[in-house]
Amino acid sequence: MRSPADNAQLALLLEVAGTPKPGNVDRRREYDDLRFEHFLAGGVGAGTGLRAAEAGAPVGWAFEESVAGMSHQGGGNTQFGCLLDLVPLVRAAAEGRLSVTGVKRVCRETTVDDACGFYRAFDHVDVTVGDPPPDLDVPDVRRGSDAVGDLRERGLTLWDVMERSASGDGNAREWVEGFPRTFAAAAGIYDDEGPATERVARAFLTLLAQEPDTLVTVQHGSAVAREVQERAETAKRDLDAASDLADEFVEREINPGTTADLTAAAAFVALERGWEP
């Protein structure tokens, strides 16, 4: 029987194996400097931190540990956002409270030390983030561990950081709302039919069609992010059409990474609910 940490690692592998996921690395599409094998190695490397979360380690420490382990491969940042979503979900599952209410409580209980662990994780890999809005009242995450003193002085918990960042970041919003999109997508995976990799791809397309992807917005602007959303809506139930879209998005270097993060989280929840690929 798989443990929550086992299911989290399996979810990471299923996410990258799912195809087609327009713009993302999958088992048929790669970028020159970011390949399928990097994601496999990252998923294995994250295991130490995921097992720590399962054992009850502080969320921020477990997250930093999982990112440090993930970073030991040649592609750089493969699954930073996935792990940000998975760590509190693993903790909630291990404690028997894998629900919107339960995981939200896990997130609300985070501390200043957890915020410090979150910021230190940025020291391990380069993470693409946009310039913070002028009114964002938290340290710039690009400061990494240099922000720890500021976090402690201001008494900012990881929940505080996520809550104040939620308006401009899809993963932060998912955190503070209790992962509602994740749980809905997990139900879709569970109720779907066909091979696991196709179920994951359809879940990705459904999530992508719901709202503009944060990473696409940062890298290409809001107009392209809306285009991606609209085209995902058209292709979400037709994997042949989605395959053509995937080839185009890779050519244009459009990478809906935040949607991939939620897809991995949804696969985890589906596995915890009894889905057997």
> What is the signed CA dihedral for 138, 142, 143, 149, rounded to 10 degrees?
40
Most confidently predicted of 25-34, 39-48, 123-132: 39-48
Q: Is residue 86 part of a domain?
A: yes
User: What domain count does the chain have?
Assistant: 1
Residue 7 CA to residue 109 CA, distance in Å, equals 23
Residue 42 CA to residue 94 CA, distance in Å, equals 22
Question: Which domain range does residue 166 map to?
Answer: 4-272
pLDDT in tens, 195-252: 999 999 999 999 999 999 999 999 999 999 999 999 999 998 889 999 999 999 999 9
Facing residues of 170 across strands? Answer: none
* CATH code, domain carrying 158: 1.10.4200.10
Q: What sign does the CA torsion over 246, 248, 250, 255 have? A: negative
Q: Is residue 277 part of a domain?
A: no
- In the predicted model, is pLDDT for residue 134 greater than 90? no
Q: Is residue 161 part of a domain?
A: yes
The pLDDT mean for the chain works out to: 96
pTM given for the model: 0.97
- What tokens were used for 264? 């991995």
Asked if residues 130 and 222 have their Cβ atoms less than 8 Å apart, the reply is: no
Asked if residues 64 and 48 have their Cβ atoms less than 8 Å apart, the reply is: no
Long-range Cβ contact pairs of 143-150 (< 8 A, separation 24 or more): 143/119, 144/119, 144/120, 145/116, 145/119, 145/120, 147/119, 148/116, 148/119, 148/120
Question: Which CA distances in Å does 256 have to 57, 218, 227, 228?
Answer: 30, 10, 12, 9
Residue 203 CA to residue 201 CA, distance in Å, equals 5
User: Residue 167: CB partners within 8 Å, gap ≥ 6?
Assistant: 173
